[in-house]
Structure 1
Amino acid sequence: MTDFFSALPNRRAIIDRRAVADRLEQLLAEAAGQDATALRGKIVAVLADALASGRAEAMRRLDAHPTNGRETVQAFAFLTDQILRILYDATLRHLYDPGNRSTSEQMVLLAVGGYGRGEMAPGSDVDIAFVTPYKPTSWTEQVIESMLYSLWDLGLKVGHSSRSIDEMIRMAKADLSVRTALLEARYVWGDRAVYDTARGRFGTEVVKDGARSFVAEKLAEREARHKRMGDSRYVVEPNVKEGKGGLRDLQTLFWIGKYVNRVDNIAGLVEAGLLSPQELKQFQKAENFLWAVRCHLHSLTGREEDRLTFDLQLEVAKAMNFTPRAGRSGVERFMRYYFLMAKLVGDLTGVFLAHLDDQWAVRGRRFMPTLFRRPRKLDGFVLERGRIALPEDDFFQKDPARLLEIFALADKHGLAIHPSAMIAARRDAPLIDNETRKDPRANAFFLDVLTSPRDPETVLRWMNEANVFGRFVPDFGRVVAQMQFDMYHHYTVDEHTIRAVGLLAQIEKGELAEDHPLSSNLMGKLVSRRVLYVAVLLHDIAKGRGGDHSVLGAEVAEKLCPRLGMSAAETEMVAWLVRYHLLMSATAFKRDLSDYKTIMDFVEVVQSAERLRLLLMLTTVDIRAVGPGVWNSWKRQLLSDLYHAAEEVLRLGHKSNGRKEKVDAKLAALKSALNVSEAEFARLAKRLPESYLIAEADDILAHNARHILAAGKAPLSIAAQVYPERGASLVTIYAADHPGIFYRIAGAIYLAGASIIDARIHTTRDGMAIDNFLVQDPLGRPFDEPSQLARIERAIEDALANKQKLQPRLEARPLSRTRAEAFAIAPVVLIDNKASNRFTVIEIHARDKPALLFNLAYALFQSKVTVHSAHISTYGERAVDTFYITDLLGGKIESKSRLQTLERRLLDASEVRAVEQQIAA
């Protein structure tokens, strides 16, 4: 195996094994007579210099050619080979000279796993196996122990095993990971005869006749790994090694090819018929790029880091010379190229498994089972072993509309598409030109897939993988593999869009009725369901163009919808939905829904019940498709509240339900929920202002009333409980009202480890504060442990009683979050005196960070204003906090100079340290 690294240029610049060995021999000869420990120290010292020099040369090459990952990983593997060979020889010659060795004292050193393939990133483990013919002797154990200590002293992370050949075979049969590692075992040094025997027995006793089970286990292992990593190759913080479309997927293909066809290298997959020469080039292109990314990750972090987090994306993009171009930043261009490579890995996987399936089918048994179905009409397409295939290779070329038709047929009949047809579709996708895009048949096929009542998500994803989607809808092609560089969105724009379509189909089929009862109920009431599907497709289609993607997307809709065969009315509705697809979430999450003007402003834009229904469902799937954990019951409740409030206004005769009628209805519901006398209820009702009764839900009013009655004349009463309907915990504070109470409560809740997602602050007519806070833990879940709830109550009590100073404790808490710091977000303060009839509405956009709400609340306290409600939203690294305020006399803030001072204080507060320094001073 001396020429395993024959393609590696100028290997002696990395390490000259002979020169290092000669230097070591001279040094050890001079130290003759010293004990083994001293000699081993000298060996390690020489090898450490050689290792450092070799690593520096490998990294120099990477810096010179930052996208050449293949040469870098080979350089590290070659360097490790030479270090091990020198160490092996020196250990046997100078530390544990065996003299005339018996057969049982023979030993071979193997490279296994990735190191066996000759691939090592800067932070990779050194995976080695010591193999002996029989059970290890005391001499072999001494040699192995000494070598391992030397390797550890060199600072290497070593994964090792020491087994006889019999043990090796037994372990390989029993353990898939051992079998896989040994599959790539490579001779490094030692007794070659032992290696030949071990390799021969592994081939005849383990590999032979075990191909089908190995492939099945490897594919199952791959599926499980994908699920752990998010089950998408388009997650915006991908794992370069283990994620879908990463290095491990390429390695799995090689393992399967090696096991089934006994190939020794990647090029052997072509001879085995598992890849074409062109596909081999694509394999090597993707592998080279992914290895380069992984090497840069290890180099930048100084450890084995395989997750491409936001902060590292910036650094890797810079290291790999991705510069801004055509309106995209360097990091966006880098990540788009990364996702295109991940997509290429997915394409190669499909092709490879298809070739493998065909090989086994020739032998009479397909590997991947498919139900045989024979639809009556396939319009010229044929059925090959249960999958749609082409009757001849130029079938698409004769009529490019068939590139859309094949997907429509696959959806209609519930069939898979033969991999050879997918390969042809990918090859012929460039045939889709303006003439094809205007073809009514092609547009009908596309719309049939998009609005399918079956499984549009799967077929749209196939269409996207074949590049047909982006060719037929060029505006969609512009967002393929386009990441959204923020911590809120989990997927690329195209993946987010396809997932949203899939979620809509699931809602329509009733599969998500428990999570989305309102949307599931409304789906059957739509006048035009295809309007909704097209709007979901187009809602983010204009992202990355440098303007408001909602406005630009509406313009795309106005041009595309007529081409798809939609009427003028449908086109207008789709364009409106795309233009206002963020309106409902912005209103529900950032505004006070108990403020009547909020509802009226929203209804003024929506104008019809059909638009309201469509907008709710578009908003729902848009939020849920952002990523796991983004949708929760709190958002569902807010959207439902807004929908019902807007629907009431839109219904004929809504004016009969005025403010007085609402207050009377609330008091009646409250009275029925309480078991108190008429006189006691009258006294309670007299204390409650109308604004409070309108703002809070009936169950909250009942909870607050019981709290107030139980507190009696106590100056302070705090209660924390789980509130499952909102997916949060409800914290209620009943206390004598005084300036600063809001910021003290906010600081105490933060110190207790909770995040406030909504706050409603009220004052009774006799001067008591009754404040309701909805809080969650850092993962967006309710606090449900009694000890957690007690901790929140205790922290608030201490803060309001001034038992502990908030500021020193807040300053002791960490204030930075590394991932969020990857994003430069300039804080913005928006002050609106028209959004409410009674309040000045202030909206602050800033980078989310610990204690942000406390600092904003303290800035409002300094400004001598009263906070009536607060609405807190986070979008990844970005926080949007909205406050409804008045001056101390209950009026809006009108003074221009006062508004400017307020804005300045809030901007300072967005930089957390600023306020704490003021407080400390």
Structure 2
Amino acid sequence: MPDEIIARPGLRGRLRRFLPQAAPSAAASPAPSAVRRGGERIDAPLEIIDPAVLEQRLYAALDRGDAQAQRAEILAVLRQALADGRAVVRRRFVDEDGSADACVSESAYLMDVLIAGLAALTVSRLFPVSNPTVGERFAIAAIGGYGRGELAPFSDIDLLFLLPYKRNPRVEQVVEYMLYLLWDLGLKVGHAVRSVDECLRLARSDTTICTSLMETRLLWGEPSLYDTLRKRFIEEVAAGTGAAFTEAKLGERDARHRRMGDSRYVLEPNVKEGKGGLRDLQTLFWIGKYLYQVDGVEGLVAKGVLTEEEARHFRRSQSFLRAVRCQLHYLTGRAEDRLTFDLQPEMARVAGYTDHAGAKGVERLMKHYFLVAKEVGNLTRIFCAALEAESQRRPKRGLAFLGFAAPMVDGLPLDGDRISLAGEKQIREHPVDIIRLFRVAQLRDLDIHPAALKLITRNIDLIPGLREDPEANRIFLEILTAEQDPEIPLRRMNEAGVLGRFIPDFGRVVAQMQYDMYHTYTVDEHTLFALGILHRIETGEAADTLPLATQVMRKTGSRRALYVALLCHDIAKGRGGDHSVLGARVARKLGPRFGLTPEETETAQWLVRWHLLLSDTAFKRDIEDDKTVQDFVAAVESPERLRLLLVLTAADISAVGPGRWTAWKATLLSELYYRAEERLSGADETVGAERRVELAKDLLREALADWPKDTVEPYIAKVSRAYWLAFDGATQARHARLVQAADAKAEATPLAIDIRVDQQRTVAELTIHTADHPGLFSRLAGAIAVSGGNIVEAKIFTFADGMALDTFLVQDAVEGGAFDAPERLAKVKVAIERSLSGEMKMSAELERRHRTYPRFNAVSIAPRVLVDNEASRTHTVIELNGRDRPGLLHAVGRSLTNLGLQISSAKISTFGARAVDVFYVKDVFGLKITHEAKLAQIRKTLTGVVADPVAKPVAAAVKRRPRTRRTAA
């Protein structure tokens, strides 16, 4: 863990349970009232469980008469001892702020006593033999994590029943009796019944079994049998196989990382198996233990594998992750290792993380977690790779092996196929070589030798001195803007701790989480992904998914400014202000330092300041409204800025997480881009809105040439002007035929529904033609929500004859893709018909659907209502921000109707748990709302709706008394 994190005032006091306690001195012998498990001293062990008392109660159970009654009593004794012991362990950890290291050791001790007591009873009294043969003598050993003397509160228990030879009936009876009792206790027991020879044979062919045998611990039985296994394992399995074992464990680690998402910065990390989790630390220790036969991290220090400081980081990281895992078990009451979104707030609360300016308590917890995961990554990557290289002991090391000097590449030594550094003297005399190392690796497509990364880690104090070094900054700009992918070297620099120290502003967002269920990665990971995507846009590799950005990138003339802007676009998040404004200041400072020209610095600064302008306008405003495009163009000012902004936006959204870039978003952005490009080029000046209306009418006349002439003009006359600007000619012709077919039915309440799936834009277009009436939008929105649809855009028109033509673009509410399942499409038609006829009890249906998605309640989002009379010439624009939930649009639409407002169009956006819904409205007279009292009423009413009074908070799995804790600065 970085020293600057640990050194913050108050952190140690606030995280007492998350940090290891001071170990007793080597000279001090444990008091008689203490025992050890997993290297940890357990004080007052008899308070947890007293072996003598347990033995007395178990033997007393044998006085119960028949075997069935005896078994029931034995089970009751064990269950009570387990419950009492667990209560003590939990109290010490949760209520008395005990360390997690003690918690896992105490849990292991409790299980040791239970299993040993049960084994002694079973062998001596339930299945006794007066003079057992050698084949009837056996041992019970703990293996795996339990073998290390570590057991999280509800973890599985792995046992080895060790036999001298093959199985015999008596041993099978004992094993079966014990296992069924342990299972009846509710314990998850993994077990194996093997002879010594079988154990060794399987260990040679199975790395997992080999690893579990390496961490065995005798619980009960024949010590000589256990000692034989240990001795023969070292001599017959471990000897001479270090290289193969190292390779296998690192392969397992890489496969596990891929299975878990291959990033340590995922939204809901797995504390045990995820990248940067406990298993990575265990992999590091397993390799060291296998190669050097050590029993603790201190042994790796003695062997020179780790320094004292690195061992300290190892222990601190392990203690923190253990604490998080133990808390997860207690919070959920089960063996839960995923720090899921809904558990993170409660975890932050019990750990004492409070909200600070610019960062929520849960975000601060997760930042701490990701910093620890990053530190674990540093240890495992550098030292596992170093151990691998040492264990393989390749017979040749290039020319150096033959006594010649190592070959040099751009002034740096080449070791095999990996670039390296000459040694500590080199970087002390020429610290700029640290930055140059990453550039040479990028330029020559080489891996970096682990020894070089270790050297950098141990001399990280040199980096601050390079911040104002012109050569270092020149090389860094080359890395950032090179023809080669910048993501790889920048990620290496970030992992090694170089990037955050070279650019302290970037260091502030390393491991910075955004708790919104939208951003999948931390801010630094997101930025690095975005830079990689920008490179693929520039090279044409992203042409299939980002065709417009790829096309536009070829026309840009400010690529260096664009790369710097993307590096800085989120660099000021978590500071308590507008990160765009604050980030622009950082870009203005870094531009000259990196060697950008004044013009490039100004461009980079502008891009950072307005990097959300394109997406905000496209997703939250009606781009058919001329005023929207006019305001956007006034802010952009130049075609070059427009091009740069489009490319940056495409890379930014694509890097938010899998599935965040959609065809629908691409459509909105491209439509706004083309409209702005026309206006900036002057082409739009010759074709005004009125001319576009007339052209649309002429196109419809051509499309309806088969209609009687006396029906076309009346139809055109009853359609509003806004309608002609809202759709293309083909859609308008389709609408006309839909209306005609509905009118031909001559029903009292005509209703026509047309559904078309647009796979290219991944939306379903629902068009409803029916009689207009107050609350129509609310009813339609509710019916779509009940059917599992999520509205992303709505356009509402009322014709002169009192009929409404409403169009909704709908996506799947859960998956986010096209709403195209046939059963869903059929269901939404029925739901609309039932809603308009009054058959459906909308509130009950929506509340039931709300309960189906409890994760909507995991995030607290303050409601906000903005009313804007400047964004449109003809409408009042209302923007709502709040927590998303099924039926939100139904509730908002009903409130707007009750307020006497007419909805003309709506833009609906969802960012994780946050809903951002924008409505273009008029009053009952078709005018903007300008009266202050009415505006205040709108704000008050809609704020109450967005606040979601129906939502119920997620119940915490474990209730704790509040504590007073010091908080970190």
8 A Cα contact 1:13 1:54, kept in partner: no
Q: Is residue 224 of structure 2 the alignment partner of residue 188 of structure 1?
A: no
Change in 2 beyond 3 A, CA 1:22/1:899: same
Q: Is residue 832 of structure 2 the alignment partner of residue 832 of structure 1?
A: no
Q: Which residue of structure 2 lines up, in the alignment, with residue 492 of structure 1?
A: 522
8 A Cα contact 2:883 2:948, kept in partner: no
8 A Cα contact 1:820 1:848, kept in partner: yes
Q: Which residue of structure 2 lines up, in the alignment, with residue 143 of structure 1?
A: 174
| CA deviation vs aligned residue, 1:126-183 (integer Å, no higher than 9, x gap) | 1223333445333333322221222133232222333455655565566554444344
Q: Which residue of structure 2 lines up, in the alignment, with residue 7 of structure 1?
A: 40
TM-aligned CA deviation for residue 377 of structure 1: 6.9
Q: Is residue 577 of structure 2 the alignment partner of residue 534 of structure 1?
A: no
| Residue of 36, 39, 56 corresponding to 2:67 | 36
1:893 maps to a residue whose letter is: I
Q: SS where residue 814 of structure 1 aligns?
A: helix
Q: Is residue 781 of structure 2 the alignment partner of residue 746 of structure 1?
A: yes
TM-score, normalised with respect to structure 1 = 0.92
TM-aligned CA deviation for residue 437 of structure 1: 2.0
1:530 maps to a residue whose letter is: R
| CA deviation vs aligned residue, 1:835-867 (integer Å, no higher than 9, x gap) | 111111110111112221111111011112211
Change in 2 beyond 3 A, CA 1:450/1:6: closer
Instruction: Supply the RMSD in Å over aligned alpha carbons.
Output: 2.8
TM-score, normalised with respect to structure 2 = 0.88
TM-aligned CA deviation for residue 69 of structure 1: 2.0
Q: Is residue 465 of structure 2 the alignment partner of residue 452 of structure 1?
A: no
Change in 2 beyond 3 A, CA 1:387/1:302: same
Q: Is residue 752 of structure 2 the alignment partner of residue 721 of structure 1?
A: no
Change in 2 beyond 3 A, CA 1:439/1:200: closer
Q: Which residue of structure 2 lines up, in the alignment, with residue 574 of structure 1?
A: 604
| Residue of 663, 668, 675 corresponding to 1:638 | 668
Q: Which residue of structure 2 lines up, in the alignment, with residue 124 of structure 1?
A: 155
Q: Is residue 793 of structure 2 the alignment partner of residue 758 of structure 1?
A: yes
| CA deviation vs aligned residue, 1:655-683 (integer Å, no higher than 9, x gap) | 11211332344345556667835736556
Partners of 1:489 and 1:375 lie apart in 2 by: 46
Q: SS where residue 305 of structure 1 aligns?
A: coil
8 A Cα contact 2:122 2:174, kept in partner: yes
1:296 maps to a residue whose letter is: Q
Q: SS where residue 864 of structure 1 aligns?
A: coil
Q: Is residue 911 of structure 2 the alignment partner of residue 881 of structure 1?
A: no
1:27 maps to a residue whose letter is: A
Partners of 2:143 and 2:607 lie apart in 1 by: 56
8 A Cα contact 1:336 1:481, kept in partner: yes
Aligned residue pair count: 906
Change in 2 beyond 3 A, CA 1:528/1:687: same
Q: Which residue of structure 2 lines up, in the alignment, with residue 305 of structure 1?
A: 336
Q: SS where residue 82 of structure 2 aligns?
A: helix
8 A Cα contact 1:591 1:871, kept in partner: yes
Q: Is residue 642 of structure 2 the alignment partner of residue 612 of structure 1?
A: yes
Q: SS where residue 242 of structure 1 aligns?
A: coil
2:475 maps to a residue whose letter is: F
1:818-829 mapped onto 2 (5 Å cutoff):
818-829=854-865
TM-aligned CA deviation for residue 580 of structure 1: 0.7
Q: SS where residue 455 of structure 1 aligns?
A: coil
Partners of 2:729 and 2:251 lie apart in 1 by: 51
Q: SS where residue 492 of structure 2 aligns?
A: helix
Change in 2 beyond 3 A, CA 1:388/1:587: same
8 A Cα contact 1:380 1:391, kept in partner: no
TM-aligned CA deviation for residue 114 of structure 1: 1.6
1:204-283 mapped onto 2 (5 Å cutoff):
211-270=242-301, 274-283=305-314
Q: SS where residue 834 of structure 1 aligns?
A: coil
8 A Cα contact 2:163 2:195, kept in partner: yes
* Alignment gaps of 5+ in structure 1: 368-373, 917-921
8 A Cα contact 1:8 1:75, kept in partner: no
| CA deviation vs aligned residue, 1:676-701 (integer Å, no higher than 9, x gap) | 35736556544443311211244533
| CA deviation vs aligned residue, 1:82-111 (integer Å, no higher than 9, x gap) | 110001111222322233333443332222
TM-aligned CA deviation for residue 224 of structure 1: 3.0
Partners of 1:551 and 1:483 lie apart in 2 by: 20
8 A Cα contact 2:764 2:818, kept in partner: yes
Change in 2 beyond 3 A, CA 1:365/1:46: farther
TM-aligned CA deviation for residue 341 of structure 1: 1.1
Q: Which residue of structure 1 lines up, in the alignment, with residue 499 of structure 2?
A: 469
Q: SS where residue 770 of structure 1 aligns?
A: strand
| CA deviation vs aligned residue, 1:242-285 (integer Å, no higher than 9, x gap) | 11101111122233334445444444444555434432222222
Change in 2 beyond 3 A, CA 1:366/1:900: farther
Partners of 1:521 and 1:820 lie apart in 2 by: 38
Q: SS where residue 32 of structure 1 aligns?
A: helix
Change in 2 beyond 3 A, CA 1:842/1:254: same
Q: Which residue of structure 2 lines up, in the alignment, with residue 919 of structure 1?
A: none
Q: Is residue 809 of structure 2 the alignment partner of residue 774 of structure 1?
A: yes
| CA deviation vs aligned residue, 1:486-545 (integer Å, no higher than 9, x gap) | 222222211111111111111111111111000001111111101100000111111111
TM-aligned CA deviation for residue 196 of structure 1: 4.2
Identity of aligned residues (%): 48
Partners of 2:727 and 2:407 lie apart in 1 by: 60
Partners of 1:254 and 1:94 lie apart in 2 by: 41
8 A Cα contact 2:123 2:174, kept in partner: yes
Partners of 2:897 and 2:716 lie apart in 1 by: 29
Q: Is residue 631 of structure 2 the alignment partner of residue 601 of structure 1?
A: yes
Partners of 1:672 and 1:868 lie apart in 2 by: 27
Q: SS where residue 654 of structure 1 aligns?
A: helix
1:49-68 mapped onto 2 (5 Å cutoff):
49-63=80-94, 66=97, 68=99
TM-aligned CA deviation for residue 454 of structure 1: 0.9
Q: Is residue 192 of structure 2 the alignment partner of residue 161 of structure 1?
A: yes
8 A Cα contact 1:36 1:95, kept in partner: no
Question: Which deviates the most, 666-675 or 443-452?
Answer: 666-675
Q: Which residue of structure 1 lines up, in the alignment, with residue 829 of structure 2?
A: 793
| Residue of 681, 691, 713 corresponding to 1:661 | 691
| CA deviation vs aligned residue, 1:617-656 (integer Å, no higher than 9, x gap) | 1111111211122111111111111111111111124211
TM-aligned CA deviation for residue 193 of structure 1: 4.2
1:327-476 mapped onto 2 (5 Å cutoff):
328-364=359-395, 378-433=409-464, 436-476=466-506
* Alignment gaps of 5+ in structure 2: 1-34, 399-404, 953-969
Q: Which residue of structure 1 lines up, in the alignment, with residue 658 of structure 2?
A: 628
Partners of 1:886 and 1:815 lie apart in 2 by: 34
Q: SS where residue 726 of structure 1 aligns?
A: coil
Partners of 1:617 and 1:478 lie apart in 2 by: 26
Question: Which deviates the most, 484-493 or 605-614?
Answer: 484-493
Question: Which deviates the most, 50-59 or 457-466?
Answer: 50-59
8 A Cα contact 1:40 1:95, kept in partner: no
8 A Cα contact 2:243 2:391, kept in partner: no
Change in 2 beyond 3 A, CA 1:733/1:180: farther
1:151 maps to a residue whose letter is: L
Question: Which deviates the most, 706-715 or 765-774?
Answer: 706-715
Q: Is residue 63 of structure 2 the alignment partner of residue 24 of structure 1?
A: no
| CA deviation vs aligned residue, 1:384-407 (integer Å, no higher than 9, x gap) | 112222223121221332222222
| CA deviation vs aligned residue, 1:594-616 (integer Å, no higher than 9, x gap) | 11111111111011101111111
1:122 maps to a residue whose letter is: P
TM-aligned CA deviation for residue 760 of structure 1: 1.3
Q: Is residue 146 of structure 2 the alignment partner of residue 110 of structure 1?
A: no
1:843 maps to a residue whose letter is: E
Partners of 2:662 and 2:506 lie apart in 1 by: 29
Q: SS where residue 787 of structure 1 aligns?
A: helix
Partners of 2:843 and 2:670 lie apart in 1 by: 39
2:807 maps to a residue whose letter is: N
Partners of 1:817 and 1:531 lie apart in 2 by: 43
8 A Cα contact 2:783 2:831, kept in partner: yes
Change in 2 beyond 3 A, CA 1:346/1:861: same
